[in-house]
Each structure stands twice: as structure tokens, then as C-alpha cells.
Amino acid sequence: MQLVIVESPTKAKTIQKFLGSKYKIKSSFGHVRDLPKNKLGVDVDKNFEATYIVPTKAKKVVAELKKDAKGADEVILATDEDREGESISWHLAQALKLENPKRIVFHEITKTAIEEALANPRTIDMALVNAQQARRVLDRIVGYKLSPFLWKKISKGLSAGRVQSVAVKLVVEKEEEIKKFIAVEYWDVEAVFKKPGAEFSAFLNKKNGEVVDKLEIKNQQEADEILKNLENATYIIEKITKKETHKNPLPPFTTSTLQQAGSNKFGYSAKMTMSLAQKLYEEGHITYHRTDSLNLSQMSLVMAKDFITKNFGEKYSNGSKVYKAGKGAQEAHEAIRPTHAEHTPESLKGELDGPKLKIYTLIWQRFMASQMVPAIFDSTAIEISAGNYGFGANGQMLKFDGFLKVYPMKFSENEMPALTEKEALDLARINPAQHFTEPPARYNEASLIKALEKHGIGRPSTYAPTLSTIQDRNYIIKNEQKRFEPTEMGTIVTDMLVKNFPQIVDIEFTAKMEKELDEIAEGKDTWQKTIKDFYGPFSKNLKEKYDEIPKEDLTVKTDKKCAKCGKDMVDKMGRFGRFYACSGFPECKHTESIVKTTSAGPVITLDINCTKCKTGKMSAKRSKRGKIFYGCDQYPTCDMATWDKPVNEFCPTCKSILVETKKGLVKCSSKTCDFKKDAEPSSEAN
């Protein structure tokens, strides 16, 4: 009997179907060894030697795997193909005391891929293991060394992270940009022309033969002057340019672009999108979902071409189109794609539930579209003269749908009426319009992941946990528009790190560290040297800052009296935001919540009446464990509380308030009503 060990029970179940009774497939349920929780676990004086333990929750699994391994003729490690998976295999070999175990990898869980992997086993790749070990040790050092500093200088319970702190800094810097932004007024001028049965618009874009920047029409006075000059103008079509334009399909998904699309189309968090993709991969529906590669196997290219030709016709096939990812992508991996082209979303409706089917549909459509021809549009550009001024109009009509047949995207169609050059136009009206420049948009999940990827911060496996961690730590929160805002604590911690540990939150330095980890994975460097180069300056600076930096005084006096002892209450800053505390602490430990109406505060008051008492307002609050829940702002008079977020809409069936679940569903708050629907999507992907 041959024992095959994978990470998850779902993956084990899928592989077992392909291999039959000669193989026993067991799951390790993730990592079986890790650094200890209650201490550093890294000996900085002995070449950063790491001490790994088997966590309590993994001891039973390890004992069972040891027993299975003893009774097996051969042990095969089949964990995921990335650094994390390689590391799990190494830890399994160490924990089970395996000698020269076989290691197999595959991009997809299909019978063909598994059999090919079994026919071509290899040994554990220690370069990949060391790269992952370097990341783990580096992050442990930063977290365990820097967090106590934050406890002493700001507040207990705080923590710092190498990648997470940079992500928070991006959000804080964006907020600073917004605060400093000054809106600038500008105007544009629209001319509406009429033809029999039709009207079309053109916009002012020339003055004295020069193209006008919109910001050059600075105020109403300038706009009125232009209108006055145009009072008796004759509008003549000077030039009509017609041409075909092509819109190319997007490449297949990588981890980051899938997370962005899941956020934009369905409002899914990166964590939720990755959880759904993980299930799809383990069930054999898609290829490995943690990748930054755009590479596609030759088999998949042939598969796509055959499907497109058979179902849509040869005119839709683009042959076998190859895409190249940016520098640093792991081209040995593949992009995310369906394992079988013929498994259309429609054919899997009975097998996949709603959210899982949505993500699969995205992946299937994006992959198929990437192998199809561009969409073709008939475009028309019109230049119109009016004395010393010029107007421009553009029209576009879809001529051939191409890849849009399977991957719908928003585009505008604007058919122009029949026009000829030198034709005089009949002006219907002219519309001056005032505008103001907009401040930069706050990050949402999609744009923050895009920014991290652009700067080279993190890797495919780190985006989702990074975003989850900095929200769990209450350094950033999502506002009502699902955009990220820094909390007061997030800003305070970031300012402290920027002033005293600039390298930790420096984008270029963090990106450089990622490149060094890549070099370790390629066998070009040792992980101990990388850690040593970082730790020396970091440790010296940390020691100096302990002596130099005074503790932040974040306490504010108030006129409020303690309800228990009568002493003054003070406004204090805690890990999860501000709260009232008795100044008589520790003799009196009475505390009270502070209700704030700002989305950056610890409590967000919603414009929704309490569903229980009908008089209070529903508020978002944080529990003692930092989890967000929703309750009445009249507490303790009213004890209404729910984990699901109320929305300002009522059930069409029973008239109870509707709530939005963490899985993106809107359902009735009444336990006796089963009404539900999908949450509204926020926007189109990409």
C-alpha cells in the first residue's frame, strides 16, 4: 500500500477517486509543525536556528500519520506546489521521521495530472522550503520584537507585521492625500446638434486651433465668455474619421486579478474569494489558485481552441494565444483556469452552490475569452469648427462581439447619425457645466491588492491573509462604501513606525526583501544571511528607540462621572478604539463605550431604526475579542444584537429588516422567514 499525504480532506477525497484502493490518501489538515506561540522560537545568537513544535491541535493527526506511514510500502508527499506547500511537505517529513520520501506536484487535480506526477516524483526542494522558512522567521522576529515596543509606547495588545504594516501605511497615506486635497473648479461646454429624428453631442476641445485642457476653463466667467463668442457661430463638420477599433481580451486570472474581480463584481473579500477558489481546486474544477503566472499548458490551449471552434465557430478562435507575466512571476506555474473546457458553468449548476459557481464562472469565462479574438467596433470621430473654436464628437458601435460572447464587459455604444464633411449643423442647445476635481478614491479590497502587487509587496498566498489581519487588528476598517479607512489606532501605529522604524514600512525596502526571498527560492542565496542582514540594524535601532521614545499620552479628560464610584471618567485609547474608563483605575474598573458617528471610530451609527425597540439606532460595535457586531445604541435599555449587518431595506415577505451576511447574501432577519437574495455587486471587474 502506498500512502499519499495532502493538506486537506477535500483534496484527499478527490485524489482517492482517481487512484483507487492501491493508494491510501490522508490529510495533514495543513501545517503539522510551527514556531511556538508563547515565545520567539528563533535563536538569534545561533544563526537564527528555529525551534519547531507540533501544535496541540495537530498531535492527533501526526500520531495517525505516523501509524499509517509505518504500515505503508512507500510515502508520497503531495502538498501544493508553492513554497507553502513545499514547506508543509518538509515539516511532514521531519515530524514523521521519513527518510527520502517521494514528493509529487501538479497544477490541477485531474486523473491525468496525478498519474503524470506519480510517474515523475522528485525530492523535497529545500530552496523553496528555505524561502518559506525565511519569510516565517523574518515575520516572527518583526512581530515578536516590535510588538512589545508598541505595547510599551502606545497601548497593550498591539502588534506589528512586516507586510501588514506596509499595507496599513498605504491606507493611511491615501487618507492623508484625501485630507490635503483641494477641489479645483473647471467647466466644460457641450453642444447638442439636431438631425431629423436624432440628436448627438460634441464637446469643446479647441480654441484658436489649440486643444483645450478642461482645467483651462476655470470658472463661469470664462465659460460665459466662450458662450458669448459662440452666439452667432456656424457649426461645420470639418472632418469625419471612420475606422475599426479592436478591444483585446484580458489574460487569464492570477491570484491577485481573481481577488480583484471577486471584489469588484460580487463584493467578495479576498479571503472569501480564495476560500471558494480553494474548494474549486480541491474538487478538481480549476488549476492551482495561488499563482502570479500567466502561463498556460499546451494541453489547455488545445482544449480551449477545440471548444471555441466547436461551440462558436472558427472565426472566434485566436489559435493558441500565449501571455507573459511581469518580471518575477513563476512561469513554471500556470494561470488559474478550468481543468475541463467542456465543464461550462451551465453544466455545473447542479453541482456548485451560488458563490462557488460565481467564482467558477468568472474563471471559466476569463480563460475561454483569453483564447478568443478581439471584439471589433466601428468607431467614428467628428471634428466640428465654430469660428475660432472646435468641438469633437465620438461614436462607437459593436461590429463583432469576439471574446465578449463569453466574457461580458461594460462598453458604451453611441451610434452617430448620417453625417458628411462640410455639412452645416443645426445647434439645438449649448450646455456649459461646472465640475470640480475629485479627491483620490480610498482603497477597496481590489485596489489595495492591486497596489500591493504593483509595489512588489507580498506574494499570491499573502494578499488575502494580509487584508484580513489588518482588519482584525482594527488598524483599518471598511466604511459604508466598502472602502478602507484607517482607524485612529492604525494612524498612530503607522506614524510611530514611520518615524522610528522607517525600513519596516518602507515600500522599496519591503519589495527588496521579497526579491531576496525569491533569490533564496532560486538557490541564489541562503536564508540565514538574509535574516542576518536585516536583524543587525533592526535590533540596534530597536534598542535605541526603547530609550529615546517616550510613551504616547492618548488619554483625554472629560466632564463625565463614573456611574459606579463618582470619580471623573477619562477618554482612553485601546486596541479596538476609544472608550471611557474610570480615573480611579485600578480600584474602579468601570468602562463604557463611546458612540461615534464617524466610520473611522470604534462604533458606527447606522441610519436604521433598531429592529427590536424601534426607537434607537442600529450601530456597528466591536466585541471584547475585536469582532464586529450590530446592536442598538440604547444599550443596556435595549439588548438587540446580531452578527449580520442590517441594510435599510425590508423583507417583501414579512416586512422585517433585511441583513447582509459575511458570505455576501442579503436575507430576512426573522428566523421564521427564509427570504434571501444576492447582495448588489459594487461594479464591473477591471
Q: Is the peptide bond before 432 cis (omega within 30 degrees of 0)?
A: no
Backbone torsions φ then ψ of 148, nearest 5 degrees: -60, -30
Question: Which bin fits 121, alpha (ψ -120 to 50), beta or left (φ > 0)?
Answer: beta
- Number of Cβ atoms within 10 Å of the Cβ of 362: 22
Residue of 235, 268, 288, 389 marked catalytic: 288
User: Of the ranges 237-241, 344-348, 569-573, which one carries the lowest mean pLDDT score?
Assistant: 569-573
How many angstroms separate the CA atoms of 612 and 614, rounded? 6
pLDDT band at 686 (very low <50, low <70, confident <90, very high): very low
Q: Which helix (H) or strand (E) holds 33?
A: none
* Residue 21: partners with Cβ closer than 8 Å, 6 or more residues away: none
Looking at domain 255-370, its CATH architecture is Orthogonal Bundle (1.10)
- How high is the pLDDT of residue 642? 78
pLDDT band at 47 (very low <50, low <70, confident <90, very high): very high
Q: Is 513 buried (19+), middle (13-18) or exposed (0-12) by CB count in 10 A? A: buried
Looking at domain 2-124, its CATH architecture is 3-Layer(aba) Sandwich (3.40)
Taking residues 5-32, report their average pLDDT: 93
pLDDT band at 603 (very low <50, low <70, confident <90, very high): very low
Q: Which pTM value belongs to this model?
A: 0.79
How many angstroms separate the CA atoms of 42 and 134, rounded? 11
How many angstroms separate the CA atoms of 186 and 222, rounded? 10
Residue 681 has pLDDT above 80, yes or no: no
- How high is the pLDDT of residue 246? 96
> In CATH terms, are 134-181+441-548 and 185-248+375-436 the same topology?
no
HSE of 90, CA atoms in CB hemisphere, 13 A: 19
How many angstroms separate the CA atoms of 325 and 335, rounded? 10
Contact 618, 630 (CB under 8 A): yes
HSE of 163, CA atoms in CB hemisphere, 13 A: 29
Taking residues 156-178, report their average pLDDT: 92
Contact 517, 529 (CB under 8 A): no
* Residue 60: partners with Cβ closer than 8 Å, 6 or more residues away: none
All three cell numbers of 676: 434571501
- How high is the pLDDT of residue 611? 67
How many angstroms separate the CA atoms of 272 and 468, rounded? 10
- How high is the pLDDT of residue 600? 35
Residue-wise pLDDT for 190-212, tens only, equals 999 999 989 999 999 998 767 65
How many angstroms separate the CA atoms of 595 and 461, rounded? 37
Contact 656, 650 (CB under 8 A): yes
- How high is the pLDDT of residue 356? 95
DSSP helix/strand/coil, 240: strand
Higher pLDDT, 157 or 341: 341
All three cell numbers of 262: 471577486
* Residue 651: partners with Cβ closer than 8 Å, 6 or more residues away: 657, 658, 668, 669, 670, 673, 675
* Residue 644: partners with Cβ closer than 8 Å, 6 or more residues away: 630, 659, 660, 661, 662, 667, 669
- How high is the pLDDT of residue 219? 92
All three cell numbers of 162: 512586516
Residue-wise pLDDT for 276-289, tens only, equals 999 999 999 999 99
The overall average pLDDT reported for the chain is 88
pLDDT band at 214 (very low <50, low <70, confident <90, very high): low
Looking at domain 185-248+375-436, its CATH architecture is Distorted Sandwich (2.70)
How many angstroms separate the CA atoms of 591 and 569, rounded? 8
Residue 439 has pLDDT above 60, yes or no: yes
pLDDT band at 597 (very low <50, low <70, confident <90, very high): very low
Q: Write down how long the chain is.
A: 686
535 noted as active-site residue = no
CA-based radius of gyration for the chain: 30
Residue 570 has pLDDT above 70, yes or no: yes
Domain locations in the chain as residue ranges? 2-124, 134-181+441-548, 185-248+375-436, 255-370
All three cell numbers of 524: 541564489
- How high is the pLDDT of residue 534? 92
Residue 683 has pLDDT above 90, yes or no: no
User: Of the ranges 63-77, 381-395, 433-447, 604-618, which one carries the lowest mean pLDDT score?
Assistant: 604-618
Pairing of strands 102-103, 74-77: parallel
Edge-first strand listing for the sheet containing 74-77:
23-27, 2-6, 74-77, 102-103
CB contact burial 654-675 (16+ within 10 A = b; e otherwise): eebbbbbeeebebbbbbeeeee
Q: Where are the alpha helices (DSSP H) in 438-487?
A: 445-454, 463-472
Taking residues 448-459, report their average pLDDT: 90
CATH class, domain 134-181+441-548, is mainly alpha
Number of H helices, E strands in the chain: 16, 27
- How high is the pLDDT of residue 684? 35
